[in-house]
């Protein structure tokens, strides 16, 4: 694989080329059929990848990874449910304040930063506390659902 950097403005100029940083990435060599190229193609500071092949096909992929190694996150829009979580960052307990009256229960699911499911449960209307003491340190997402309404919030477990 080739690892490259790209100035997005330079691609508009005739004869513009990618600047090769390394011929090897992860001790792998570029294949004969496909050639991936990584760079910040649209100026959003996130790593993008173009995969080309010998037949002329191109695939463009975006990632949440930044060039400094951090992961960008986006708060997902609410779909009919509003909630606040606190404290954030948290220790052993996460408190959920649902902005909805008359519900009989709220299902929740917790996912790690890689999107893997790690826990689930249900909150009664008089319950606000979710135990997160069993989770390791890191970034997590809690998805709250009441019927078809849902919202996803992120939190940090210390």
Over its length of 158 residues, how does the chain's per-residue pLDDT go in tens digits? Answer: 334 444 445 455 555 554 444 444 443 344 557 777 778 777 777 777 777 766 666 677 777 777 666 655 555 554 568 889 999 999 999 999 988 777 788 999 999 888 889 999 999 888 889 999 999 999 999 999 988 888 889 999 99
Q: What is the DSSP letter of 125?
A: T
Beta strand 117-123 with 3-5 is: unpaired
Query: Domain 83-157 adopts which CATH fold?
Result: Immunoglobulin-like (2.60.40)
Residue intervals of the chain classified under CATH 2.60.40.3080 are 83-157
Question: How many CB atoms are closer than 10 A to CB 1?
Answer: 19
Surface-to-core class of residue 25, CB atoms within 10 Å of its CB (0-12 exposed, 13-18 middle, 19+ buried)? middle
């Amino acid at each position: 694989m080739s690892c490259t950097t790209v100035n997005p403005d330079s691609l508009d100029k005739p004869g513009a080329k990618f600047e090769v940083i390394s011929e090897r990435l992860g001790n792998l060599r570029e294949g004969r059929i496909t050639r991936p190229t990584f760079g910040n193609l649209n100026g959003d500071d996130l790593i993008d990848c173009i995969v080309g092949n010998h037949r002329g096909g191109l695939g463009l992929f975006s990632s949440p990874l930044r060039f400094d190694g951090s992961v960008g996150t986006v708060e997902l829009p609410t779909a009919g449910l509003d909630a606040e979580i606190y404290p954030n960052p948290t220790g052993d307990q996460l408190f959920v304040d649902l902005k909805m009256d008359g519900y009989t229960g709220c299902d929740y699911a917790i996912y790690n930063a890689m999107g893997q499911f790690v826990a689930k449960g249900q909150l009664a209307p008089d319950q606000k506390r979710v135990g997160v003491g069993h989770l390791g340190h890191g970034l997590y997402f809690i998805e709250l659902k009441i019927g078809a309404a849902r919202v996803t919030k992120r939190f940090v477990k210390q």
